[in-house]
Chain A
């Protein structure tokens, strides 16, 4: 399994970030970093601002304060279409495909920025990575199952061979087995191939298992962070996220 990367070794960085809707901050003073080859996860209760944070990184939500850099280059408040040109792929939590378009057309739109002649071969490469999609190229994306749909959503961003992957709860609504496969095989695989992966994940245990570093969000702020081994020892974290059962 391999993902070709456009520019391996790209660091994603946010510092002192505040962002929100209509000028009102939902997340405040966030400083995070993600390294190439690493999976960095963000966990936290519903409504703590995880999605808002990711959206502010890719230009969907307005940054009010602070900076976002990719590879040392400032991308704060760039348009999403510009961020896409910099090798940053973003899979939103919901509305992650184009439902009326076929699977093939979804992938082609993912490769919109490629040279015309390169699109077909890149579609082949992505299909080799998600072979299940090959059998349903003509199907409307809106008709896919939850797991197929997520694969398509990830396939769409892989079209541009991104060096940074930002994934918002990719396992939501997936059956446990499919979720585990997606995280351990694909998400971990992207990082092992050299990509920088930032993932928001509801399943805290599963997230820790594949992560190199984890940030815990609460009320729009980073309340805790560290390598998974360390968080697993932290009683506050264990009580609120791991159900308290795994202590000791």
Chain B
């Protein structure tokens, strides 16, 4: 009991961070049809952009917007100048997956070379510690929750009620039919890279805030947790990704409290495999969306 509630608190925060990342990832994957394994390296690079702005004396909560913009622009460029040309030469989905893996390594270790390997922290106050139901949560952690809530509600409103969001879902469901209906799917896909890239940049900065100290390789295996959350919920399902993130966040942090944190990714995949045995298309997924 004494370890359980605090680790439950950690789990909720991890889940909030993971939910932001996973919702962006699942949206990107569903609409653009690219399984972008470089997502984690764009996250950490965006976190460092926030860091560099923060170093100049700007509050991390404002610098964060520069990190978000970085994620959006980098993701868009990545698609425009790397993925799309490769896709044009070889349309097999696996090609882009391999290319994205290469981009991930270049992004991570390129950054490592630039910052010469040292870990850093944002200049910020953690705020008061609060004790809620046996969990120790700082003000900063509550802000992370709030950001997560705002993101999830906004994504829901976008996808459910806006013309752009409906066009994104139509493009994800049946790109050819969307075009027959007059949807300029190339434009929709470009906008999706910007939006999901912005979420990636946001997730990176929030991840770094939550981590406290971070380095170029801190998010190296994070994409594994994202994939587990996304496929747990059913790929292309934002609510599924959210629920997947909650499950994975809690499972990894609580197991870390009882075992060791070295097994996080293993635990995430055990949860995923266990669930996929019962629901092959994820919690929310159906045959059609996968």
Which residue numbers of A lie inside 8 Å of B, CB to CB?
58, 60, 79-81, 83-85, 90, 92, 95-101, 105, 108-110, 112-113, 116, 142, 156-157, 160
Contact = CB atoms under 8 A, between A and B. Distances in A.
B179 A100 contact: no
A101 to B, nearest CB: 6
A100 B180 contact: no
A109 B181 contact: yes
B180 A58 contact: yes
Interface stretch (B35-43, B98-106, B166-174, B192-200): B166-174
Contacts of A58: 180
Interface in B156-190: 163, 166-167, 169-170, 172-174, 176-185
Interface of B: 163, 166-167, 169-170, 172-174, 176-185, 286, 288-289
Given A109-B166, A116-B163, A142-B288, A95 B174 contact: yes
Contact of B184 (A60, A81, A99, A116): A81
A114 to B, nearest CB: 9
A84 B174 contact: no
A81 B185 contact: yes
Contacts of A110: 181
Contacts of B289: 99-100
Nearest to A159: B181
B181 A99 contact: no
Contact of A105 (B166, B177, B185): B166
Interface centre among A85, A97, A105, A109, by most B CB within 10 Å?
Answer: A109
A96 B177 contact: yes
B271 to A, nearest CB: 25
A53 B182 CA distance: 20
Contact of B181 (A79, A95, A156): A156
A60 B182 contact: no
Given A60-B180, A92-B176, A95-B174, A100 B166 contact: no
A109 B180 contact: no
A100 B182 contact: no
A217 to B, nearest CB: 22
Interface centre among B173, B177, B286, by most A CB within 10 Å?
Answer: B177
A108 B178 CA distance: 11
A150 to B, nearest CB: 14
